[in-house]
């Protein structure tokens, strides 16, 4: 595991730290007991010595006192004093005092080191307070600890009465005891260090196997996360790590089978299967406008006659590998392989540039097959020719088949027309790419074409207009069209650049960042955010716009675009715009942080659910819903009941975004059970949202009705159809366009046809 992926101390470090803590705790208690015992032993030994010295001194001094020989008492006292450099006296003796019963000092040495209250301890009536011996711990004026031992000079008379004649007092230093305790402390600290080292070694030895196994497991899991599903974790034990290893291997095997299956299913089909697996409900098939590309290898039957079967398969794999790489680059989905032909679907994405991407893809396919043929010519092999037919129109997308075997595909007349146009490419003289009228209208003037003679396609009676692609206009021409005063021409030019991402397209868009036309600048920033992913130069240009944006519209657009690039690391700077005064800026900032993975900003999102701006509330609610904070439905419900029509429309829009988010429970059986409960709660909230949207369909404000119908359209709820049909005014307004688009998503062809007939009757021509 790399260092940058390890957050905090590892398990081995924690185990060793725990072992060290245990050893230190145990040995600290032992050390405290040992040191306490050693000090007690030292004090007891010193007490015995002190009592012995004091008793001996008291006995000899009593004899002298009875003889009234005070001088001899002085000599006896001096004999016990330590002398520097001589082995005479007690080395740790600090003072000696001999007093009679009246408190008169018969001999005194070193007592000046005592405090006055301690120096008078044997004077006055003190004899009544002590037994034969008295022991005290005192501190001298110099700060030295001493053991003060006093002994009475007593004599038992003939009559049996014991009388006190005086007392002797000595003070012994505790330095020796302290030195012995310090020596023991050093031994204890040494033992502590040794035991800590042994404990760490033991912890390392005990954890080495499991930790190494976890590191290998982390490495293998990293490979699995990177897409290498063949990686396996070695199972080396039958304990919990062994169970975990087997669980990881089982997961990897399932992912490997899943990845193998994905090779035989288109991306769109797979995403739909995943969605149905998550929600447990089948997707309703419906009409959807797409662009169909049909490719066929010319004269493949003739090529096959002189080859073995394995050579034919190898040739097909080489051609299809080259073509599929181009198709995926332009966002196409291979629906199926039909012998030597390919059926490709381009679904309309956010910018609705499916036709543009299909035409660019076809042009690059012909260019790629040219390079493929040059490589084959080097080895003396014959050239391969392909023909392409492209048509745009409404098809039914969904699952077709029996209960036990299904195929996810597109069905409709546009598919058949694309196949027939491909057949006409045999007569083409330029690129071999034939377009229908519907595709050409979507592509506009970006493609230079020649009109082919009208004819009735095979299986059709009416005459069909078709065109052969000659070439794609150069980016300089497209750049000029971006600056056109005609909005439709400008939009087609932007879509063409977005459909053809690359360094040249980025250069063309970057030149527009200095434009004064705000609409042109806004559109350029939006497209740069979509196609400039991973480009640090684009991120740098957009960062300058963040600093210099002259209006809130541009700032809001730049915030979302710069996060889309994925190359802007200073997200904290973006977070600062959550406090911007303009609601558009705040709303786009929430959306941008949501795109960047907003788990770090959940607290900020939660506060913004109460923002006064409806769109900010809506975006924050959607971001929280994606992270399983299903309680935000209550906030959306309050917005839906607001007196402000804008708030109600925003609530309906947010509800539609919520319907787009799938909740996929995964993991162990326990985690799956918990996820099932979570999913049940989510579905309950979705039910309440659906009821709210049904209520908003009867709202007096048309904007709210359109938003509610659009949200129900995202969930393919047919209850929105009557309200949408009622909205059609036949005036070609954006509301009409949105209503028809939503009807398409719901998939109600008969209602759509009747609505279109009504529009044609009300607006002839």
The answer on pLDDT for 203 being more than 50 is: yes
Same domain, 519 and 647: no
Top-confidence residue, 510 or 358: 358
| CA separation for the pair 300, 748 (Å, rounded) | 41
| CA separation for the pair 642, 721 (Å, rounded) | 25
The answer on pLDDT for 701 being more than 70 is: yes
Q: What is the pLDDT of residue 293?
A: 92
Same domain, 133 and 24: yes
Whether the CB-CB separation of 602 and 624 falls below 8 Å is answered with yes
Task: Name the domain count of the chain.
Answer: 4
Whether the CB-CB separation of 99 and 119 falls below 8 Å is answered with no
Contacts of 657 (CB under 8 A, 6+ apart): 618, 622, 711, 714
Q: What is the pLDDT of residue 716?
A: 60
Same domain, 70 and 135: yes
The SS3 call for residue 136 is strand
Nearest-Å Rg of the Cα atoms of the chain is 47
The answer on pLDDT for 153 being more than 80 is: yes
Q: Which long-range contacts (CB under 8 A, 24 or more apart) does 399-406 make?
A: 399/272, 399/282, 399/283, 399/285
Q: What is the pLDDT of residue 269?
A: 56
Asked whether residue 689 is domain-assigned, the answer is: yes
Asked whether residue 480 is domain-assigned, the answer is: no
Same domain, 513 and 542: yes
Same domain, 689 and 550: no
Asked whether residue 642 is domain-assigned, the answer is: yes
Same domain, 577 and 628: no
Whether the CB-CB separation of 590 and 620 falls below 8 Å is answered with yes
Last residue of a domain, one of 573, 603, 633: 603
Angle at alpha carbon of residue 113, lines to 109 and 115, rounded to 5°: 120
Judged on CB neighbours under 10 Å (0-12, 13-18, 19+), 95 is: buried
The answer on pLDDT for 121 being more than 60 is: no
Asked whether residue 632 is domain-assigned, the answer is: yes
The answer on pLDDT for 92 being more than 50 is: yes
N residues, the chain: 765
Q: What is the pLDDT of residue 278?
A: 42
CATH code where residue 154 lies: 3.30.450.20
Q: What is the mean pLDDT of residues 428-443?
A: 82
User: What is the tens place of the pLDDT at every residue in 382-423?
Assistant: 788 888 888 888 887 766 666 666 666 778 888 888 888 888
Same domain, 620 and 585: no
Asked whether residue 668 is domain-assigned, the answer is: yes
User: What is the tens place of the pLDDT at every residue in 479-509?
Assistant: 666 666 666 666 666 666 666 666 666 666 6
CATH code where residue 584 lies: 1.25.10.10
Asked whether residue 233 is domain-assigned, the answer is: no
147 token code pair: 């053991």
Same domain, 324 and 379: yes
Segments forming the whole domain that contains residue 744: 609-765
Angle at alpha carbon of residue 105, lines to 102 and 110, rounded to 5°: 145
Backbone angles phi, psi at 404, to 5 degrees: -100, -15
Last residue of a domain, one of 148, 181, 214: 181
Last residue of a domain, one of 181, 201, 231: 181
Same domain, 330 and 459: yes
CATH code where residue 759 lies: 1.25.10
The mean-pLDDT minimum among 252-261, 384-393, 491-500, 671-680 falls in 671-680
Same domain, 620 and 507: no
Q: How far is CA 599 from CA 5, 512, 538, 564, 602, in A?
A: 18, 34, 26, 17, 6
Query: Model's pTM, two decimal places?
Result: 0.47
Same domain, 520 and 616: no
């Amino acid at each position: 595991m790399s260092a940058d992926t390890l957050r905090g101390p590892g398990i081995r470090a924690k185990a060793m730290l725990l072992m060290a803590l245990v050893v230190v705790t145990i040995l600290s208690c032992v050390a405290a007991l040992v040191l306490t015992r050693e000090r007690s032993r030292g004090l007891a030994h010193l007490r015995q010595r002190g009592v012995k010295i004091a008793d001996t001194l008291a006995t000899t001094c009593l004899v002298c006192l009875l003889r009234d020989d005070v001088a001899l008492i002085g000599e006896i006292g001096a004999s016990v004093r330590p002398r520097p450099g001589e082995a005479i006296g007690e080395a740790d003796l600090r003072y000696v005092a001999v007093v009679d019963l009246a408190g008169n000092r018969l001999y005194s040495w070193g007592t000046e080191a005592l405090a006055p209250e301690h120096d008078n301890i044997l004077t006055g009536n003190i004899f009544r307070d002590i037994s034969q011996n008295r022991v005290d711990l005192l501190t001298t004026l110099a700060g030295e600890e001493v053991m003060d031992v006093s002994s009475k000079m007593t004599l038992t008379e003939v009559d049996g009465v014991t009388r006190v004649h005086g007392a002797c007092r000595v003070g012994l230093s505790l330095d020796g005891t302290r030195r012995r305790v310090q020596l023991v402390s050093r031994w204890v600290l040494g033992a502590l260090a040794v035991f800590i080292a042994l404990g760490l070694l033991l912890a390392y030895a005990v954890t080495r196997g499991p930790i190494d196994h976890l590191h290998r497991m982390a490495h293998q899991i990293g490979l699995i996360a990177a897409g290498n599903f063949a990686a396996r974790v070695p199972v080396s034990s039958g304990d919990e790590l062994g169970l975990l290893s087997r669980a990881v291997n089982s997961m990897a095997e399932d992912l490997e089978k899943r990845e193998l299956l994905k090779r035989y299913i288109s991306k769109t089909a797979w995403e739909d299967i995943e969605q149905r697996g998550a929600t447990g409900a089948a997707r309703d098939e419906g009409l959807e406008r797409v662009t169909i590309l049909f490719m066929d290898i010319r004269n493949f039957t003739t090529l096959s006659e002189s080859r073995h079967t394995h050579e034919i398969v190898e040739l097909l794999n080489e051609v299809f590998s080259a073509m599929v790489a181009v198709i995926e680059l332009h966002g196409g989905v291979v629906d199926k392989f039909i012998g030597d032909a390919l059926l490709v679907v381009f679904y309309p994405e956010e910018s609705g540039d499916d036709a543009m991407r299909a035409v660019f893809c076809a042009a690059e396919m012909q260019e790629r097959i040219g390079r493929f043929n040059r490589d084959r010519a080097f080895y003396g092999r014959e050239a391969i020719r392909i023909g392409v037919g492209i048509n745009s129109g409404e098809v039914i997308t969904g699952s077709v088949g029996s209960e036990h075997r299904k195929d996810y595909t597109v069905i409709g007349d546009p598919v058949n027309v694309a196949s027939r146009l491909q057949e006409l490419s045999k007569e083409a003289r330029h690129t071999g790419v034939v377009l229908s009228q519907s595709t050409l209208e979507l592509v506009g003037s970006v493609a230079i074409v020649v009109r082919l003679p009208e004819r009735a396609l095979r299986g059709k009676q009416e005459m069909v207009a078709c065109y052969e692609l000659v070439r794609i206009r150069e980016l300089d021409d497209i750049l000029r069209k971006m600056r056109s005063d005609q909005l439709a021409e400008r939009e087609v030019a932007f879509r063409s650049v977005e459909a053809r991402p690359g360094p040249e397209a980025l250069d063309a868009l970057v030149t527009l960042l200095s434009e004064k036309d705000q609409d042109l600048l806004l559109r350029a920033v939006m497209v740069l955010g979509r196609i400039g992913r991973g480009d640090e130069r684009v991120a740098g240009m957009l960062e300058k716009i963040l600093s210099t944006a002259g209006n809130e519209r541009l700032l809001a657009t730049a915030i979302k675009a710069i996060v889309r690039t994925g190359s802007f690391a200073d997200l904290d700077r973006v977070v600062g715009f959550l406090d911007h005064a303009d609601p558009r800026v705040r709303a786009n900032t929430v959306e941008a942080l949501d795109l960047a993975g907003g788990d770090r900003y959940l607290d900020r999102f939660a506060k913004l659910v109460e923002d006064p701006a409806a769109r900010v509330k809506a975006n924050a609610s959607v971001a929280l819903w994606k992270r399983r904070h299903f309680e935000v439905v209550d906030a959306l419900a309050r917005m839906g009941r607001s007196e402000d029509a804008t708030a109600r429309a925003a609530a309906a829009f947010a509800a539609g975004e919520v319907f787009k988010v799938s909740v996929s429970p995964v993991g162990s059986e326990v985690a799956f059970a918990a996820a099932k409960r979570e999913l049940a709660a989510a579905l309950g909230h979705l039910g309440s949202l659906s009821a709210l949207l049904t209520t908003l369909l009867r709202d007096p404000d048309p904007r709210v009705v359109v938003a509610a119908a659009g949200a129900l359209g995202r969930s393919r709820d047919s209850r929105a159809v009557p309200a949408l049909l009622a909205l059609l005014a036949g005036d070609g307004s954006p509301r009409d366009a949105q209503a028809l688009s939503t009807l398409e998503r719901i998939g109600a062809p008969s209602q759509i046809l009747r609505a279109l007939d009504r529009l044609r009757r009300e607006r002839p021509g």
